[in-house]
Every structure is written in structure tokens, then in C-alpha cells.
Structure 1
Amino acid sequence: MSRIGITLGAAALALAGTAGSADAFCGFYVEGSGAKLAADATQVVLMRDGTRTVLSMQNDYKGPLNDFAMVIPVPVVLKEADVKTLSKDVLNRIESLGAPRLVEYWEQDPCPKPQEERAYDSVAKSSMAPMAGAGRMETDDFKDTVKIEAKFDVAEYKILILSATEATGLERWLKANGYQIPAGAEPLLRPYVEGGSKFFVAKVDPKKVQMVDGRAQLSPIRFHYESEEFALPIRLGMANSTGKQDLIVNILAKSRYEVANYKNVVIPTNFDVKDSVRTRFAEFYAALYDKTMEANPGSVVTEYAWTSQPYSMCDPCPPEIPTTQDAATLGGDIVGGEIAQGNYVLTRLHARYGKADMKDDLRFREAKPITGGRETWSKQGLEYGASPASTNAFQARYAIRHWWTGPMKCAKPRRGVWGGPPDGRHRNTIAASKLAYAPRGKLALGTVIKRDLWEIGYKKAAAKPAPPSGGAKFATPPGTKAMGFGMGAIGGMVLLGLGMLMMRRKQS
């Protein structure tokens, strides 16, 4: 069995010597005409059970598609039965479920009428409850070093599975068949060739692709394989990287996952923000993420880890949530068991790096459950950070709160009871999407947060222009004990509460 896992490289190929803007991508792109291509969005979901991995990937391209192809190292020879196309909606629902979210709460009447007292708590709690191509590619000029192991068509994709005995031969084979690959690709191909990887080369038939506003609407593609190692090689995708790469990995499995060979941190979560964040949420989150990386360079950030069960998988939920059928579509029909029935842990990992930042591929390992980012209160206040737990229930969650401004005509007002809006109308949860393209460097994070971020040593903006001599001090965290459990510096306190692919993007 091959040692190398599936590769998810980080860049679209820059062609004809011109660096193109590209998002995260599996492997790299090659194109025969020398024109510029860009991958503006890539979504990846990995389903893992035992030694079996099912990878689902969606790419949207902007540029010409003639003689276009993508090259992805895979651990085994894939057969036609191993590959299929999916509906885009399935991947979109997974992405929406794990994305950072902005919620909104209103303080309930501190002086409820007597007849309302008994139902008061249940009403407040219910507002926060979970909702439910063949042609010249066939040349045999390099038959001694490159072999076509399989050839088949799936929807608009013309697929070849190649094996190679040397990286130089593979590079020459691609070039001889009219595909311009990045300069210096051979050293990046070498470890995969030497490790026994095969190469998934998928051409696109332009006649079968719908174009919308100049973008090719390609069908998501899925394939599965067996490998002892659960790894995400990223070096091949750095072949023509000229800026930062954004990688988001969604993993569906029986337990939470983290990386084994880089530092793990969790994103600061569960704090209030100003109302202005409502219209700049992706920009706000990008600023928070960047500050987290400044405090933890070279880390991979956990943004979501939640135990998903049918009809109970999130709190709060996005407008559309994954269905049980989605689990089967994303690989449940292959792995079977409880995962196929919608019982899984969704882990969302986020890395952002330049060409020189990541010296090794990403290797995953199982991790213990954590909680955080819920509307769970104790005497010390709202929970913050990540805490060990028996069930996963962690999310990147931020809140806008509206304090009661009406009259309080009672002797003992009950302050701080939070629920839905006074008019009873439901507000949709706001999710941070397309983070790779969010504006950066324009939003001053300290001016929109309402508490110090002790987890990363970051202070909110001082209320007064001139702080005391020596600088502003941090507000005291509600907990007295910092906690670490194999995830880097995770500030937190142990609180009792309810427990609950891959996409990568690059911004030039």
C-alpha cells in the first residue's frame, strides 16, 4: 500500500511565464495554449474512515479551457468506478456549516409580567437551541518512464491515470504533450514519484462546460482511495506560488482531527463585536485570523469541530444544513456505517502560508473532543476559548448584542437574559465566506472587539486616547487557569455544557 496520501497543492499554474492569481487547488493546473488561468474558488471535503479516504472537490476557473488539465498525485491507480461527479449544493452546505458565524441577541425584558415568568427561561433558551482528451496525450515518446495506467471519461472530464519512474520523465512527458508547467516543478514532483504516487490528469471538454460571466462551472469531482497515512501533501501546489495561499480543509470522520507535524491552535471565539461588523464580517474575521497567526506563526487553526447528528448538528445553524443524503453523497456509500447515516464530526482546519512557510506536507491525526463558542454561561461569565469535553462542540462564533433600552419597573430587574428580537422575527446567521478574498489591512481589529483577546495576547482599543503610563492593561479573563491539551496555547476554563473538504484559497 502506498505511503503517500492524496495531494492538495496550493496554486493554479501560472502559464507562459506570467504569474496568475489563484486560490487553493489540488495539485496544479497545466494548459496547452499558454494563456493565463485562475482558480478563484476551490472547495474540498475529505471523508475518512479507517484507511479509506473519499475526496470531493469543486473548482471554478476563469480563463480558456482548450487543452486545459489538472494534475493531482494520488496514492493508487484509480478506476472509473472510483470517480464520479456531484452536485455543487452538497459541498456548499458543508462549507456553510463549518464557516465562522455572526449571531445576534437581544436582552429580554428585565421585568417580565408575572404570567410570563414561568415560561421566561424556556423561551430564552429555545431561541438559542439547535435547529434542526486523449489526442496527443497518448504519445509514447517517454514510455520508458511514464505509463498510462487507466483512461476514462466522467462527465466533462477526460481522465488519465499516469505512473512515472522519474520526475524528469514526467515533466518532459507533460511538456512534450503541449502542457506548460511551472519552472522548477521537477524537484516538487520528485518526492511523489519516488514515494510511488500515481498522477490523476483530468482534461476538460470545453463543449460540456457551462460558462457564467467568464467562469467555467465545472462539476465537483469525487474519488476514493485506500492509504494507511492520512496526509495532505501541499508542496506540489507551491510550484508557482507568488503570494499567500489559503487552505481550508473540511474533514468528516468519527472523531476530530488536527495536524500532527505543525502547531495546532484554536481561533479565539465567543466574544462580542460592534454592530458595524455586520456588513464587514469576512473582513473582520480575516483580521482576527491574521492576528492569531501573528501570535502563532506556522500554525494550523481549528475553526470548527462539531458532532453532527441528523436533525441536531449546529447551534446556531446556517440557512441550509447538510442532509443525511449529503453524507452518503460525500462518501458514506463507500465507507458505510454511522457516517453514512449522518453521524460524524466535522472538523474545519485553516492554514495560510507563503512559499517558504511550509516545509513539509500536512499530516493528520485524531484528536480529543473540545467545546467552545456556545451561548453557555456560568458565574464567571460566557465561556471562552476551547475546553476538553466528551463530545465535540466548538465553533468560531461572534455576537452582536442589543441591551434592553425600555423601562424597568420592578424592584429586582433580571439583567443579562438573552434571546430573540422583540418583534419575534428570525434573523439568519451570517457566515464568513470567501475569506481568501476578504480585504486585509483596512479594518482595525481592536476598534470593533468588546473584550481583550487573552488567547492571543491582543488588546481591544483603549476607551480613552491616552492610556496610563506603561500601556493599557488586559482585562482579567473570567477563568483563572489556562489550559493546553496538544493544541498550542489555548486559553480556557472547563465548563459543563452540551457537546457537538477541502477548500483552499489564495490571495495574491
Structure 2
Amino acid sequence: MGPEPVSGGVTLQRRNQQRSHQEGFLIEADGHLRGPPFTIPERAPRVLQSYIKQGMYFFVAKVNLNEQKRLGFTYLRPIQVAYESPKLMLPIRLGMVNAQGPQEMFVFTLTRAGRVETTNYRTIRLPTGIDVPEFVKPDFPDFYRKLFTKQHRREGQEAVFLEYCWNVVPNTPSCDPCTAPYLTAEELRSLGAFWISSTANLPGEAVLTRLHLRYDSDHFPEDLQFQVTADRENWQTRYVLHHPYSGTDECSQLVAYHRTVWDRRRKEAENYCDLTGSSMDDTRAKMRVAADWSVPYENATWWERIWKVMDGK
């Protein structure tokens, strides 16, 4: 299908009707996009036109919610687009036209050569390998949100953060620790890693990079520009929990051991406060520790430990 004018000075090319959405490529945008089939904010045409003058196309899609519901999909299915270009970039300015505050973005890349980073914004590794209190485990989402917010502000709200970089070998668990099932050769190929063989004994490798940013127009006025580095070192953000001994056995070194646990708890609390910006009083309350960083069970007598009558056992 050739170019097809729609309302507001917009031209769509190769419009297709799918079951759950209709789609097309935007090739002109010199007016305010109003009315069917697509409606976008008033300031968007100017931003779109700046891209189109660079010879870029925008894929636009309108979701049919009724059809989506009828088909039984809870989430929108991903739309894959394949193209070849010397530019490794991601346009983000259009998404900020009607944004109500900062937006969160995760960028996943698969490459043959190595880790991916941004060239026009600083790429910074998040703190990793740090001991944190035990209460973080059931409360990890809140902990990580606070941590990211603190690092985001510390870097002036204009940095891109590296969360993960790993050599992915199909069908071979090479992670430490593994946080999700490892990817198969077929899955990697479906994600665009065309160099991975689905039949060879040595299918090849792919470097998976995950970047995380929180952006708005004041701090991210430019689109994201990327480069592929030669860095293939496995790296990930991880936070360490220590679970002290809480059994009933007695030994001559138990008191000395508890003192090392208390020293470690103090350091874990300091780490948590530094990572999240939380106060020490609030952190100690969550840890439920005494002034010496002990929990009741550790100050109990041997018979109380056996009978397990103390709080905090």
C-alpha cells in the first residue's frame, strides 16, 4: 500500500490491520495530529518532523482493546521491527512530549562484541557486592527503588546506569547467581541475535547488557546514542545477605561469634542508609536490634535457646 494521508497533515505508509491493533509508518508530520486513526499531543509534530528530516521513520500503532480482550491477552504483545542502520541510538524526545514527570526506562541489548554504553550521557555502574540487612530480602523492590532514586539524584539526574552485563551462552547456565532461566539458542535468535546457531554444537555467544535510566526533558534533552565496547567482563548488581547461626548448639566461641555478627550488622545498617538515604533510627527499628546490635535470641541462656522461648527466635 502506498502513502496514505490522514488528518492533520500526517502521511502514513503501508498501513496494516492486525487483529489487536492497526499499524503504519509515519513519513510526514507537518500539522497537529487530531482525529482518527491516531491522536498525539499538540507539540509532537514538531518533534516528529525533526526526526523525519533525518530520514527516520516512526512506527505507529493503535491498540484495539476490545479485540485484545477477546483474544485473551492481558498484556500487549511485543512488536518486533528489523532494520539495518549505522546509527545505534534510541529516540526518547517524543515520549517526553506529554509525559507527566520523569519516566523510567530499561534498555536491553544483545551484541557480539561486548557491553553497550551511552556516548552522550555518562554510563555509571550501580553499587554492587554490598552487605545489606536481612530485612531487605522480603522488601527488595522498595529497597531497590530507594537505592536507584538515591543514585539518580547523586549523579545530577542525568546519568544512565549499568545494571547487568553478561556473556550469554545458549543452553549453558553461566550466571552467578542465576536470577532467571538461561536463554536457549532459539530464544536468542527470536530476540534478534541472528549470529547464534540453533543447530551447531558451539552456537556462539551474545553479550546481554541492561541499562536503566530515569529521564525528563530538563536532564535528557538529546536522544540516547550508544556504542558497543570490547568489554566482555561479566558484571551485575547484587546485594549480599548474611544469615547468622541461630541453632541451639553451644560452643566456647559462640560469644565471640556473636560479637562479629553484631559488628557486621552495624556495617550493614550503615550500608543501607548510604544506599537508600534512610535514617539510622528507622533502619535499626527494621532490624529489631538492641543497642549493641544483638537480637534477643543471641543474649539468651543456653536453656532459653533450647526451649526457644525468646522473642526474635
Q: Is the 8 A contact 1:258 1:264 kept in 2?
A: yes
2:140 pairs with 1:276 = no
How far did 1:321 drift? 3.1
Distance of aligned partners of 1:157 and 1:212 in 2 relative to their CA distance in 1, 3 Å threshold: closer
How far did 1:275 drift? 1.6
Separation in 2, partners of 1:211, 1:397: 41
Q: Pick from 240, 243, 267: which aligns with 2:98? A: 240
Separation in 2, partners of 1:267, 1:155: 42
Separation in 2, partners of 1:342, 1:209: 37
Q: Is the 8 A contact 2:196 2:204 kept in 1?
A: no
How far did 1:300 drift? 0.4
Q: Is the 8 A contact 2:129 2:240 kept in 1?
A: yes
Separation in 2, partners of 1:450, 1:343: 40
Q: Pick from 120, 140, 151: which aligns with 2:15? A: 151
Distance of aligned partners of 1:141 and 1:155 in 2 relative to their CA distance in 1, 3 Å threshold: closer
- Structure 2 partner of 1:357: 219
Q: Pick from 183, 206, 212: which aligns with 1:322? A: 183
Q: Pick from 202, 226, 229: which aligns with 1:367? A: 229
2:56 pairs with 1:162 = no
The 3-state SS of whatever aligns with 2:242 is strand
2:81 pairs with 1:223 = yes
Separation in 2, partners of 1:151, 1:281: 44
Q: Pick from 224, 230, 245: which aligns with 1:404? A: 245
Distance of aligned partners of 1:459 and 1:217 in 2 relative to their CA distance in 1, 3 Å threshold: closer
Give a deviation string over 1:368-392, Cα, whole Å, max 9, x none.
42xxxxxxxxxxxxxxxxxxxxx42
Counterpart residue type for residue 109 of structure 2: I
Q: Is the 8 A contact 1:243 1:355 kept in 2?
A: no
How far did 1:256 drift? 0.5
TM-score, L = length of structure 2: 0.72
Ranges in structure 2 where 5+ consecutive residues have no aligned partner = 258-265, 285-313
Structure number with higher relative contact order (C-alpha < 8 Å, ≥ 6 residues apart): 1
Q: Pick from 187, 190, 197: which aligns with 2:49? A: 190
How far did 1:161 drift? 2.0
How far did 1:314 drift? 1.2
How far did 1:461 drift? 3.7
Distance of aligned partners of 1:271 and 1:345 in 2 relative to their CA distance in 1, 3 Å threshold: same
Give a deviation string over 1:61-114, Cα, whole Å, max 9, x none.
xxxxxxxxxxxxxxxxxx9xxxxxxxxxxxxxxxxxxxxxxxxxxxxxxxxxxx
Distance of aligned partners of 1:281 and 1:366 in 2 relative to their CA distance in 1, 3 Å threshold: same
Distance of aligned partners of 1:233 and 1:392 in 2 relative to their CA distance in 1, 3 Å threshold: same
Give a deviation string over 1:37-67, Cα, whole Å, max 9, x none.
xxxxxxxxxxxxxxxxxxxxxxxxxxxxxxx
Give a deviation string over 1:241-297, Cα, whole Å, max 9, x none.
121200110111121000000111100011111121122101101111111122212
State the aligned residue count. 266
Separation in 1, partners of 2:54, 2:84: 15
How far did 1:206 drift? 4.1
Counterpart residue type for residue 230 of structure 1: L
Separation in 2, partners of 1:141, 1:394: 49
- Structure 2 partner of 1:301: 161
TM-score, L = length of structure 1: 0.46
Separation in 1, partners of 2:218, 2:84: 30
Give a deviation string over 1:169-226, Cα, whole Å, max 9, x none.
4x3xx3253643213223322211211122322233445312799x953222111111
The 3-state SS of whatever aligns with 1:288 is helix
Counterpart residue type for residue 356 of structure 1: D
Distance of aligned partners of 1:312 and 1:151 in 2 relative to their CA distance in 1, 3 Å threshold: same
Deviates more, 1:152-161 or 1:280-289: 152-161
Q: Pick from 297, 312, 315: which aligns with 2:173? A: 312
Separation in 2, partners of 1:314, 1:234: 31
Structure number with higher helix proportion = 2
